């Protein structure tokens, strides 16, 4: 039941059309989203967890139609924001990560123990009592990812989650993402990771321009980007 289905979906924002997806069904375990800035990657992801509702059409995620079941979606669908400052709401790292567990009924003391063990496993136990506002950008991104993973939702939506991470953390989390049993939909410019995915969608100006295996879609997008850059250099 973990499919993501778009039917005749279009989105207008501030009076402008920003996305049009007539038909899309995502069943694969690892789905990547690529495309230029402003092409619609975040919009597509936000439609999948009800943060954004379609202007027309409908989106169904894990059997939940996003308009009718908006309140139930967060329990089934985890989300990592592109900007960690839009996600982090608690004063300390420990509280931030523990929230997802206490919200699901785990007693506070048990949740805190689980969070300490998780941070320990990732070699950063010292982060537990740190103020989230005093973390670096990459550390914030890392905390957001752990906060999502700890609740084990059945679908994970990640909006450029690895962009600020240092190489060791990126490689460790990439491996972790590939080992997850859940479905993952991730916007990313990390082609090394996306090469391992089952399917990649290339978004262009609010539409799906190419949809297929990474071995076909990634080189096509790279070539397009190189041609666009060469054109700009020639014109200047």
Ligand X SMILES: Nc1ncnc2c1ncn2[C@@H]1O[C@H](COP(=O)(O)OP(=O)(O)OP(=O)(O)O)[C@@H](O)[C@H]1O
Instruction: Please tell me whether residue 149 adopts helix, strand or coil conformation.
Output: helix
The stretch among 37-45, 125-133, 137-145, 223-231 that binds ligand X (CB under 6 A) is 37-45
Residue sitting closest to Mg ion (CB):
42
| Alpha helices, H only, the chain | 41-48, 73-76, 93-103, 108-121, 137-149, 167-179, 191-194, 214-235
**Candidate residues 39, 42, 66, 188; the one interacting with Mg ion per rule CB under 5 A:** 42
Nearer to ligand X, 41 or 170 (CB): 41
Among 1, 14, 109, 234, binds ligand X (CB under 6 A): 14
Exactly one of 4, 32, 39, 47 binds ligand X (CB under 6 A); that residue is 39
Which of helix, strand or coil describes residue 53? Answer: coil
CB 39, CB 210: distance < 8 Å = no
Helix (H) or strand (E) holding 61: strand 56-61
Query: Please, which of residues 73-102 interact with ligand X by CB under 6 A?
Result: 82
Least CB distance from residue 139 to ligand X, whole Å? 21
- Kindly state whether residue 42 participates in binding ligand X, applying the rule CB under 6 A: yes
Report helix, strand or coil for 181: coil
Other beta carbons within 10 Å of 123: 11
Query: Which of 20, 26, 35, 51 contacts ligand X by CB under 6 A?
Result: 35
Is position 235 an interface residue for ligand X (rule: CB under 6 A)? no
Strand 207-212 with 56-61, pairing: unpaired
Q: Which residues are at the interface with ligand X (CB under 6 A)?
A: 13-14, 18, 35, 37-43, 82
Q: Which residues are at the interface with Mg ion (CB under 5 A)?
A: 41-42, 82
């Amino acid at each position: 039941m973990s499919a993501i289905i778009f039917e005749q979906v279009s989105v207008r924002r501030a009076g402008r059309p920003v996305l049009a997806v007539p038909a899309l069904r995502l069943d694969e375990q690892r789905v990547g989203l690529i495309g230029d800035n402003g092409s619609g990657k975040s919009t597509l992801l936000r439609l999948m967890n009800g943060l954004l509702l379609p202007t027309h059409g409908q989106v169904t995620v894990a059997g939940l139609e996003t308009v009718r079941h908006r309140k139930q979606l967060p329990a089934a669908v985890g989300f990592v924001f592109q900007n960690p400052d839009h996600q982090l709401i608690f004063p300390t790292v420990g509280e931030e990560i523990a929230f997802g567990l206490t919200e699901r009924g785990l007693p506070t003391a048990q949740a805190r123990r689980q969070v300490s063990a998780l941070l320990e496993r990732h070699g950063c136990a010292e982060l537990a009592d740190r103020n989230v506002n005093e973390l670096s950008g990459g550390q914030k991104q890392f905390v957001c990812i752990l906060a999502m993973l700890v609740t084990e939702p059945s679908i994970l939506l990640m909006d450029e989650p690895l962009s600020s991470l240092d190489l060791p953390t990126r490689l460790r989390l990439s491996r972790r993402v590939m080992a997850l049993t859940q479905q993952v939909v991730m916007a990313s410019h990390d082609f090394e990771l996306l090469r391992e995915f089952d399917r990649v969608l290339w978004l262009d100006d609010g539409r799906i321009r190419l949809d297929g295996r990474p071995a076909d879609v990634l080189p096509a997008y790279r070539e397009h980007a190189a041609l666009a850059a060469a054109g700009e250099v020639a014109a200047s």
